[in-house]
Amino acid sequence: MAENTNVPTVSLSAGSETVEMPQLGFGVWQVEDDQAADAVREAIKVGYRSIDTAKVYENEAGTGAGIASADVPRRDIFLTTKVWNEDQGYEATKKAFDASIERLGGKDAVEPLDLYLIHWPTPEKDTYVETFKAMLELRDAGRVRAVGVCNFEPEHLQRLKDETGEFPAINQVELHPKFQQKAVRDFCSANGIAVEAWSPLGQGGDILTNPVLDGIAERLGKTVAQVIIRWHLQIGNVVIPKSVTPSRIAENFDVFDFELTEDDLFAISDLDSSDGRIGPHPNDFN
């Protein structure tokens, strides 16, 4: 497959500026640290220019090494990591950021970081507002270009706006054809917050054998995974599929030579289910 780096971008709000983020990126959740460098390097070789990691994934070092050893300058890679639940709070967040930067390769190698996210709202701890204030300061100091959140419900997002004056730039949430998060997506759209999908393929399982998706894939000569990734792109989501298998890494990127029809999009929208969530509910996870 020929390298394609013409990935669409989405605009992230960053105070008075905007930051462009590739709409299709590469995730490293559940990738072992000693596998991360090879996987990231392969993804960059294929054409991915956005890499998503997190402190809790325990693979920031491998991710940073993969970026450093790739044949693409750091400035051309959009790099995301996240503050973990136990590190939330104003001062703790700043320390956690410094630690992530060191694991990723150090200030000179990776700053400014492109995107820093709160991993979960952890409402029982009630620290996400102070965490976000620290992140805004890191952004305004030029150490990170944009800041956002993961797994936030509309009430959490609104509280950030009410208490800091800003909405986060992006909200990364569980989102796939069987759990489409319409209420969250509508709130984000109305308030200029980009939406990013984790587990965009529903962690595999029966979604990859769904007859509706399989029928669309067969008609287009694509895989079900490619159809799902294309669906995310066409409805406006940022999407970060992950794999350590070179052929699958390439397959997941090969989604720019076809389009889903309006009928396809309607058919996929009908797959949404109120009980389709795989991960924990944000209000229950601390």
Report the catalytic residues. Answer: 57
Which residues are paired to 13 by β-bridges?
A: 18
Tokens of 82: 């996240």
Distance between CA atoms of 155 and 149, rounded to whole angstroms?
Answer: 13
Q: Is the dihedral of CA 165, 78, 197, 61 positive or negative?
A: negative
Cis peptide before 211 (omega within 30 of 0): no
Q: Is the dihedral of CA 251, 252, 256, 261 positive or negative?
A: positive
Q: Which residue has tokens 């400035």?
A: 75
- Nearest C-alpha neighbor of 138 from the set 176, 190, 83, 85: 83
- DSSP-assigned states of every residue in 246-273: HHHHHHHH--SS----HHHHHHHHTT--
Q: Which residue has tokens 């930067």?
A: 101
- Cβ-based neighbours of 103, under 8 Å, separated by 6 or more: 55, 60, 61, 64
Cα distances (Å, whole numbers) of residue 250 to 60, 72, 73, 184, 235: 22, 17, 20, 30, 22
